[in-house]
Amino acid sequence: MIEIVVLYFLIRQLGRIAEQKGLPVINWKINGILAWVGGEFLGFFLILNLTNTQDLILSALFAIGMGYLSFLLLKQYLQSRPDSNSNKTL
Protein backbone atom coordinates (compact mmCIF):
# COMPACT_ATOMS: atom_id res chain seq x y z
CA MET A 1 0.00 0.00 0.00
CA ILE A 2 2.81 2.39 0.85
CA GLU A 3 4.37 1.61 -2.50
CA ILE A 4 1.29 2.95 -4.31
CA VAL A 5 1.39 6.20 -2.33
CA VAL A 6 5.11 6.64 -3.06
CA LEU A 7 4.53 5.90 -6.74
CA TYR A 8 1.74 8.51 -6.83
CA PHE A 9 4.07 11.25 -5.60
CA LEU A 10 6.91 10.15 -7.89
CA ILE A 11 4.61 10.18 -10.91
CA ARG A 12 3.40 13.69 -10.00
CA GLN A 13 7.02 14.83 -9.89
CA LEU A 14 7.65 13.24 -13.29
CA GLY A 15 4.62 15.09 -14.67
CA ARG A 16 5.94 18.43 -13.41
CA ILE A 17 9.29 17.83 -15.08
CA ALA A 18 7.58 16.87 -18.35
CA GLU A 19 5.45 20.01 -18.20
CA GLN A 20 8.56 22.14 -17.65
CA LYS A 21 10.16 20.50 -20.68
CA GLY A 22 7.08 21.11 -22.82
CA LEU A 23 6.44 17.40 -23.34
CA PRO A 24 3.09 15.56 -23.11
CA VAL A 25 2.54 14.99 -19.39
CA ILE A 26 0.22 11.99 -19.62
CA ASN A 27 2.66 10.07 -21.82
CA TRP A 28 5.48 10.53 -19.32
CA LYS A 29 3.25 9.58 -16.40
CA ILE A 30 2.27 6.37 -18.17
CA ASN A 31 5.92 5.71 -19.03
CA GLY A 32 6.82 6.20 -15.36
CA ILE A 33 4.22 3.69 -14.20
CA LEU A 34 5.29 1.20 -16.86
CA ALA A 35 8.96 1.64 -15.93
CA TRP A 36 8.17 1.02 -12.25
CA VAL A 37 6.03 -2.06 -12.89
CA GLY A 38 8.41 -3.43 -15.50
CA GLY A 39 11.36 -2.96 -13.16
CA GLU A 40 9.49 -4.74 -10.38
CA PHE A 41 8.68 -7.74 -12.56
CA LEU A 42 12.23 -7.90 -13.84
CA GLY A 43 13.66 -7.67 -10.33
CA PHE A 44 11.26 -10.25 -8.91
CA PHE A 45 11.96 -12.86 -11.54
CA LEU A 46 15.66 -12.07 -11.65
CA ILE A 47 16.17 -12.64 -7.94
CA LEU A 48 14.07 -15.82 -7.98
CA ASN A 49 16.10 -17.27 -10.84
CA LEU A 50 19.53 -16.19 -9.62
CA THR A 51 19.20 -17.32 -6.02
CA ASN A 52 17.17 -20.49 -6.60
CA THR A 53 15.19 -19.72 -3.46
CA GLN A 54 11.54 -19.14 -2.69
CA ASP A 55 12.15 -16.29 -0.26
CA LEU A 56 9.31 -13.95 -1.20
CA ILE A 57 10.30 -11.16 1.20
CA LEU A 58 13.77 -10.87 -0.32
CA SER A 59 12.26 -11.04 -3.80
CA ALA A 60 9.71 -8.33 -3.01
CA LEU A 61 12.33 -5.99 -1.57
CA PHE A 62 14.61 -6.49 -4.55
CA ALA A 63 11.64 -5.97 -6.89
CA ILE A 64 10.74 -2.65 -5.27
CA GLY A 65 14.38 -1.56 -5.52
CA MET A 66 14.48 -2.46 -9.21
CA GLY A 67 11.21 -0.61 -9.78
CA TYR A 68 12.63 2.49 -8.15
CA LEU A 69 15.87 2.17 -10.12
CA SER A 70 14.03 1.93 -13.43
CA PHE A 71 11.94 4.96 -12.45
CA LEU A 72 15.10 6.92 -11.62
CA LEU A 73 16.61 6.04 -14.99
CA LEU A 74 13.50 7.33 -16.76
CA LYS A 75 13.53 10.49 -14.65
CA GLN A 76 17.19 11.10 -15.44
CA TYR A 77 16.47 10.70 -19.15
CA LEU A 78 13.59 13.17 -18.91
CA GLN A 79 15.71 15.71 -17.02
CA SER A 80 18.41 15.49 -19.68
CA ARG A 81 15.94 16.62 -22.35
CA PRO A 82 16.12 20.34 -23.28
CA ASP A 83 13.68 22.78 -21.73
CA SER A 84 10.73 24.10 -23.69
CA ASN A 85 11.41 27.20 -25.78
CA SER A 86 8.09 28.73 -24.67
CA ASN A 87 9.53 29.39 -21.19
CA LYS A 88 12.51 31.37 -22.50
CA THR A 89 12.38 35.10 -23.17
CA LEU A 90 14.05 36.66 -26.15
Task: Give 15-56 pLDDT, tens digit per residue.
Answer: 999 999 999 999 999 999 999 999 999 999 888 888 877 788
H helices present in 1-90, as ranges: 2-21, 25-51, 56-80
* Amino acid symbol at 37: V
**What is the chain's length?**
90
Global model pTM greater than 0.95: no
Give 53-81 pLDDT, tens digit per residue.
Answer: 778 888 888 999 999 999 999 999 999 99
